[in-house]
Amino acid sequence: MHKIQTATEAYKWWRDIPAPKRGELIRVFGNLLREHKQALASTVTAESKKTYTEALGEVQEAIDMCDFATGLSRQIGGLTLPSERPNHSMQERWHPLGVIGVITAFNFPVAVWAWNFCLAIICGNSVVWKPSERSEQCARDCQEIFNLACDAWDNNSEPAKQLLQIINGGSEAAIELAENPSVALVSATGSCEMGRNIYPRVAQRLGKCLLELGGNNAAIITPSADMELTVKACTFAAVGTSGQRCTTLRRAFVHSSRYDEFVTKIKSAYATIPSGDPMDPKVLMGPLISGRFVEPLIVEKTQQDDIMRTETFEPILYVMKYDTLEQAIHLQNDVPQGLSSCIFTQDIKEMEHFISAHGSDCGIANVNIGPSGAEIGGAFGGEKDTGGGRESGSDSWKSYMRRQTITINYGNDLPLAQGVKFDF
């Protein structure tokens, strides 16, 4: 593919640019995103159908990633390690991977790309982006803003503009990225089925893969839960983006002593949710990506069945009673996915149990907030069928680099490790 070759050549130039200088480009890009925030958010709403306030938040997330990556550009580095041999030192360095393939979904057409792009760029890579077929204008707008940033960053801006290549298309374009040996890492966000299709193709050529797949996220509402806070948090988590987030709340396990109260109050909350034109600032719930308007649904269950274990990308919340915390944690974990989870409690013992190794098995475990709305400072991702990848904050930058261990002998002798003798 021509664009992958172009990205390869751009990477060979870019890897020699000092990391703080790379960070300066991302800083300029972040400032231009601020200037174009409202216009880009309007495009997000037009294509993804999420409310305008959520779209503004998504662009802000991209801006936050720019700020994070700019600072990180002066910090990415390895370690100096003690050697067991005299007059030897050991180092650990990190080098860019090369071309990074990024596959994104319709529901977060800007933010998830920015998680990957900002880190990949400051790490010294180039990016080939395949957006969802439903959000290709968002990708074009982001590329246009990035080109403006390149112009403002350096007079010789053409090489920098080649760092971002966009390929459009459906599954065939994603498969081409996955199978191309010039793509060092494929970061793919989408359904579990998509991940099962992409991962073996990357693995076949021993490439690297970062998967952010589906979620079937749960809330545990304990006897001590602050019910007003709980209902508000669960309502947003269940109906935000019309239930089309990978972190949407899909299951609520409520202690039997608070069950009736929770169900009554969340039904009342649902009755007040205004739906309609997502550009209307009063609207909290727009249509599904298909354009159909639906009402959020609450389904009361007496047992967790295969329907509950299957992720539904719509605003459907299953509610079920539990009697012991161990039972609730088992029910929460008893699904194929392992992205996000939460507990509502004022009991520190319950909280610690939930976030311990024998508590939630998800990549994200929240206390007294819902499972959605993650900040960029923490690593984002999940376990099991969610794919195991981590994006955004913390040390996720390491996914976009290769580690090199270096041993330096600055003496005149050649002592061997582990006391091995080889004299002649």
Active site residues: 212, 246
* Three-state secondary-structure class, residue 8: helix
8-state DSSP, 205: T
CA–CA separation, 385 vs 269, rounded Å? Answer: 32
Amino acid letter for position 201:
R
Residue ranges of E strands in 161-206: 164-166, 183-189
Q: Cβ(36)–Cβ(145) under 8 Å?
A: yes
Query: How far is the C-alpha of 263 from the C-alpha of 301, rounded, in Å?
Result: 12
Instruction: Say how far apart CA 230 and CA 217 lie, in whole Å.
Output: 15
Spell 316-331 as b/e; 16+ CB within 10 A means b. Answer: bbbbbbbeebeebbeb
Q: Characterize the bridge pairing of strands 80-81 and 379-380.
A: unpaired
The identity of residue 229, as a single letter, is: L
User: In the beta sheet, which residues pair with residue 343?
Assistant: 220, 367
CA distances from 289 to 69, 156, 285 (A): 31, 40, 12
> From the CA atom positions of the chain, what is the Rg in Å?
24
The torsion angle over the Cα atoms of residues 43, 106, 199 and 371, rounded to 10 degrees, is 110
Sign of the alpha-carbon torsion through 20, 25, 28, 32 = negative
- Residue 107 CA: distances (Å) to CA of 55, 58, 169, 243: 10, 10, 17, 10
